[in-house]
């Protein structure tokens, strides 16, 4: 719905006027003094060619009527000064334009990505249509200010020039002035149509451009390199990428062909009008009306007016295109506003000022300590209105200090429970309570500070080891020893301390040692004895080490009363898995723990094991009780245990 309303906002003149208002505010907020300085240079630069034309007319007429040498020299000096002023203004203007574009672009990108991270949920990030709109909004933030600044400057400066030269044309020949201005009307209409064609084409090819980037990333990403080569997929994905490139180029080629045809006819119209005006003027001078200086002024005025009108027409189309882009930017920013009905946007999702006539909104209640536990009460959930139910009337209880494990087949709803608990989504029906308080009424940021989470697809940040841990709680990370303490508790402290630059070692080889890297520069003066200055110190951790770094990141949240582990041991060998499980049991003491797992060997010590099936609780109890029940859990456990025994037997036989 947001996309449709956004499209409606971006269409038509009303949407463009709204985007222009937004752009005006952006310029005022981002670079007010620079904009004023640029306005002064625009006025001066617009009048320079007019002054040069009148000086040229005076000089030509004076030479024909016998001006004094002193007057002739003064006119020549005036022309030279005018030319120099125009050249200087051009250089100053170029700097001011770039500075305005930089400042506005920075302001737009800060606002845009602030809007992207503002919603408490992640539903919009799983919507392909949202990504298409976001790509256009990012384009607006990156190139919109450059396009709009250059176009607005050109239009205003050309208007100054046209206005001054039109007065000159009217003085010389009102008919000539009328013909030149009338010829601008069809050009304006044609350029506006071309601008709309370019904008619609940009929106049309956006999904293909995104797929092209996806295939290009597959071909260059280290994480996919092994499978690409082992399965021989390089040429396959290259061909797919080239197909998308070809489709984009075909759409762009169509726009270029329409542009060439249109601008050819416009050029012929301009040449016809210019020729007609020149013939009229020459005939008038031949009849004794006017001077050679008049002809000189008319030629200059004709060229300047037609050139300026063409610039105005062309730049109006560019402005139209830029405003459409900025309209996409406005859509994303506006759609990030809080809505009580939007998934992932609870009452406290976004803090906003009170209305001009109303009192300040009451803040969300504080997050209580989970003394009575966390409950899912009749929770239903699906990811879209037309999608199947993932959770169906789910009741789940996590008692204080208990270790609860969720197991079940793929698609049973285990990871969805974690997402709802962390308020990445909101229940479609039912509610989740934290110590009796509906979590939908709690501040999401404060709620999440009480939850230490390790996801199956945890992030390996290409930053230093210290930063990788510190990202769990940036404020607490500033306390001396906090990062090291979290790493020690996660069992990875010795590993990080032994790295080439200790905790300041980059956990990637992509950026380590780059010029300007503060870590690299610091090493120039204080490099370890076995590490030469300027030598890249980036390292790549093993999967198990990264897993512990992710745990350390979560443990930095010392106020967290709930530990959530979503498949924490996936991808680990049995020994590493056992070590990780022992460590997690140790750090989970005194906290409630929710463990999502496929390997049932990791959950047999849980206080309670909940078996999910098709979004609802199928079985619940400890390991022994569920084995005695001889139901789904017992069948799955025996199946996995048999697999382990077979592998052990095969290993012993070999």
Q: Report the CATH number that the domain containing residue 618 is assigned in CATH.
A: 3.40.50.300
**Same domain? 278 vs 427:** no
Over residues 530-540, mean pLDDT: 59
Tell which wins on pLDDT, 301 or 405: 405
pLDDT at 516 over 70: no
**Residue 477 forms part of a structural domain:** no
**Residue 643 forms part of a structural domain:** yes
- Per the structure, the complete domain to which residue 239 belongs is given by 2-335
435 Rama sector, left if φ>0, alpha if ψ -120 to 50, beta otherwise = left
Share of the chain above pLDDT 70, in %: 83
Contact partners, residue 259, CB within 8 Å, separation at least 6: 194
pLDDT at 380 over 90: yes
Of 312, 335, 358, at which residue does a domain stop? 335
Of 335, 357, 381, at which residue does a domain stop? 335
**Same domain? 278 vs 394:** no
For residues 601 and 597, give the distance between their C-alpha atoms in angstroms, rounded to a whole number: 9
**Same domain? 18 vs 93:** yes
**Same domain? 323 vs 382:** no
**Residue 616: which pLDDT band, with cuts at 50, 70 and 90?**
very high
Write down the pLDDT at residue 224. Answer: 80
Over residues 333-345, mean pLDDT: 51
**Same domain? 322 vs 378:** no
Looking at the structure of the chain, the number of domains it has is 2
- The string of pLDDT tens digits covering residues 121-162 is 777 777 777 777 787 777 777 777 777 777 888 888 888 877
Tell which wins on pLDDT, 643 or 534: 643
Give the count of alpha carbons within 13 A of 484, CB side only. 9
**Residue 153 forms part of a structural domain:** yes
**Residue 639 forms part of a structural domain:** yes
Structure letter (DSSP) for residue 345: -
**Residue 531 forms part of a structural domain:** no
Over residues 318-329, mean pLDDT: 78
**Same domain? 308 vs 373:** no
125-129, 350-354, 471-475, 519-523: least confidently modelled range: 350-354
Write down the pLDDT at residue 528. Answer: 46
**Residue 523: which pLDDT band, with cuts at 50, 70 and 90?**
very low
Over residues 37-64, mean pLDDT: 79
151-165, 303-317, 340-354, 362-376: least confidently modelled range: 340-354
Helices in 398-464 by DSSP H: which ranges?
A: 414-421, 444-449
**Residue 494 forms part of a structural domain:** no
Q: Are the CB atoms for 22 and 326 separated by under 8 Å?
A: yes
**Residue 499 forms part of a structural domain:** no
Over residues 197-225, mean pLDDT: 82
**Residue 644: which pLDDT band, with cuts at 50, 70 and 90?**
low
Write down the pLDDT at residue 208. Answer: 86
**Residue 546 forms part of a structural domain:** no
**Same domain? 323 vs 376:** no
Write down the pLDDT at residue 206. Answer: 78
**Same domain? 9 vs 158:** yes
Q: Report the CATH number that the domain containing residue 47 is assigned in CATH.
A: 1.20.1560.10
Over residues 468-491, mean pLDDT: 90
Write down the pLDDT at residue 291. Answer: 67
Write down the pLDDT at residue 344. Answer: 40
CA 522 to the chain's CA centroid: 32
**Same domain? 276 vs 388:** no
Write down the pLDDT at residue 573. Answer: 67
Tokens coding 180: 């030149």
Write down the pLDDT at residue 289. Answer: 66
Write down the pLDDT at residue 494. Answer: 92
- The string of pLDDT tens digits covering residues 160-193 is 877 777 777 777 777 777 777 777 778 778 877 8
Of 309, 335, 361, at which residue does a domain stop? 335
Contact partners, residue 626, CB within 8 Å, separation at least 6: 609, 611, 619, 633, 634, 637
Instruction: Please indicate, yes or no, whether the overall pTM of this predicted structure exceeds 0.75.
Output: no
- The string of pLDDT tens digits covering residues 416-439 is 999 999 898 999 999 999 988 999
For residues 616 and 599, give the distance between their C-alpha atoms in angstroms, rounded to a whole number: 20
Compute the mean pLDDT over every residue in the chain, rounded to the nearest whole number.
Answer: 78
160-174, 479-493, 522-536: least confidently modelled range: 522-536
**Same domain? 105 vs 208:** yes
**Same domain? 325 vs 391:** no
Write down the pLDDT at residue 406. Answer: 93
Over residues 392-408, mean pLDDT: 91
pLDDT at 3 over 50: no
**Same domain? 638 vs 593:** yes
Q: Are the CB atoms for 592 and 373 separated by under 8 Å?
A: yes
């Amino acid at each position: 719905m947001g996309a449709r309303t956004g499209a409606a906002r971006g269409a038509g003149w009303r949407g463009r006027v709204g985007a222009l208002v937004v752009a005006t505010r952006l310029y005022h907020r981002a670079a007010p003094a620079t904009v004023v300085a640029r306005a002064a240079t625009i006025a001066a630069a617009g009048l320079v060619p007019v002054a040069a034309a009148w000086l040229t007319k005076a000089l030509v007429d004076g030479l024909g009527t016998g001006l004094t040498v002193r007057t002739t020299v003064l006119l020549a000096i005036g022309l030279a000064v005018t030319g120099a002023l125009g050249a200087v203004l051009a250089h100053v203007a170029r700097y001011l334009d770039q500075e305005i574009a930089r400042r506005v672009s920075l302001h737009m990108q800060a606002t845009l990505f602030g809007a992207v991270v503002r919603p408490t949920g992640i539903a919009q990030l799983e919507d392909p249509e949202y990504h298409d709109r976001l790509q256009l909004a990012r384009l607006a933030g990156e190139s919109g200010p450059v396009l709009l600044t250059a176009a607005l400057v050109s239009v205003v400066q050309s208007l100054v020039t046209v206005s001054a030269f039109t007065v000159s044309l009217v003085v010389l020949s009102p008919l000539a002035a009328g013909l030149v201005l009338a010829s601008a009307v069809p050009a304006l209409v044609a350029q506006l149509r071309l601008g709309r064609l370019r904008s619609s084409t940009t929106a049309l090819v956006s999904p293909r451009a995104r797929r092209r980037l996806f295939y290009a990333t597959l071909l260059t990403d280290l994480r996919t390199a092994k499978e690409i080569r082992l399965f021989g997929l390089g040429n396959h994905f290259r061909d797919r990428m080239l197909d998308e490139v070809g489709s984009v180029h075909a759409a762009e080629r169509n726009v270029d062909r329409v542009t060439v045809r249109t601008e050819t006819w416009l050029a012929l119209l301009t040449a016809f009008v210019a020729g007609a005006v020149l013939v009229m003027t020459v005939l008038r001078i031949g009849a004794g009306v006017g001077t050679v200086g008049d002809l000189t002024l008319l030629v200059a005025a004709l060229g300047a007016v037609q050139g300026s009108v063409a610039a105005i027409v062309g730049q109006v189309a560019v402005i139209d295109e830029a405003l459409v882009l900025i309209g996409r930017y406005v859509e994303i920013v506006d759609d990030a506003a809080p809505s009580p009905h939007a998934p992932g946007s609870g009452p406290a999702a976004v803090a906003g000022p009170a209305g001009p006539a109303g009192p300040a909104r009451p803040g969300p209640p504080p997050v209580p300590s989970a003394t009575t536990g966390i409950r899912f009460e009749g929770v239903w959930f699906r990811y879209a209105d037309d999608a199947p139910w993932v959770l169906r009337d789910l009741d789940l209880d996590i008692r204080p200090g208990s270790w609860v494990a969720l197991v079940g087949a793929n698609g049973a709803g285990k990871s969805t429970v974690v997402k709802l608990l962390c308020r990445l989504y909101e229940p479609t029906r039912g509610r989740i309570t934290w110590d009796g308080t509906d979590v939908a009424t709690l501040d999401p940021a404060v709620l999440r500070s009480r939850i230490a989470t390790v996801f199956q697809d945890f992030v390996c940040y290409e930053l230093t080891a210290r930063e990788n841990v510190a990202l769990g709680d940036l404020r607490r990370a500033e306390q001396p020893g906090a990062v090291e303490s979290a790493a020690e508790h996660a069992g990875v402290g010795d590993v990080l301390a032994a790295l080439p630059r200790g905790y300041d070692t980059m956990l990637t080889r992509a950026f380590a040692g780059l010029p300007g890297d503060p870590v690299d520069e610091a090493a120039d003066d204080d490099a370890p004895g076995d590490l030469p200055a300027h030598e890249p110190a980036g390292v790549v951790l093993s999967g198990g080490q990264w897993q512990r770094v992710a745990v350390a990141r979560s443990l930095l949240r010392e106020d967290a009363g709930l530990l959530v582990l979503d498949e924490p041991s996936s991808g680990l060998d049995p020994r590493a898995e056992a070590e990780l499980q022992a460590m997690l049991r140790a750090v989970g003491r005194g906290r409630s723990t929710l463990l999502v797992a496929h390997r049932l060997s990791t959950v047999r010590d849980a206080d309670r094991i909940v078996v999910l099936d098709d979004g609802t609780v199928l079985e619940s109890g400890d390991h022994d009780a569920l084995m005695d029940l001889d139901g789904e859990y017992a069948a799955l456990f025996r199946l996995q245990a048999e697999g382990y025994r077979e592998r052990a037997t095969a290993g012993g036989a070999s």
